[in-house]
Amino acid sequence: MLGDGVYAGDGFLQIIGYGSVPVQPTLPPEAELIILQDVALIRKMACNLVSLRQLRREGIYWDMKQQRRGTYLRDKYDEVICELEDKHGQFVIEDLPRGLHSAEWSSSPLS
């Protein structure tokens, strides 16, 4: 039995725990820290993946309107939380240098 994990590419990546992680949006420079809740810790995953379903549950939506210049996460009051960068063929909230991971992790290991 493999347990909790995700398939990526041609392999299975094991989830070693769940917790919270701070993410500092790259854009705009004055964007406030975002705390992602109930996220899975996967040591071999190079970045934090964000679930649109969970964002919507928290009242956050992904604004991709054509008339606006960028792609944004907005709250239920239509205020910009952060701008998403288009990098590496993905929309990115926090662009960490290769090999560097978020410094803090508050987790509860799997039983």
Listed in sequence order, the DSSP H helices in 3-74 are: 52-57
Q: What is the pTM of this model?
A: 0.67
Q: Are 109 and 16 in contact (CB under 8 A)?
A: yes
8-51 tens-digit pLDDT = 888 898 888 888 888 888 888 888 888 888 888 887 776 777 78
Q: Rounded to an integer, what distance in angstroms lies between the CA atom of residue 97 and that of residue 111?
A: 32
pLDDT band at 77 (very low <50, low <70, confident <90, very high): very high
41-71 tens-digit pLDDT = 887 776 777 788 888 888 999 888 765 677 8
Q: Rounded to an integer, what distance in angstroms lies between the CA atom of residue 40 and that of residue 29?
A: 27
Q: Rounded to an integer, what distance in angstroms lies between the CA atom of residue 66 and that of residue 60?
A: 19
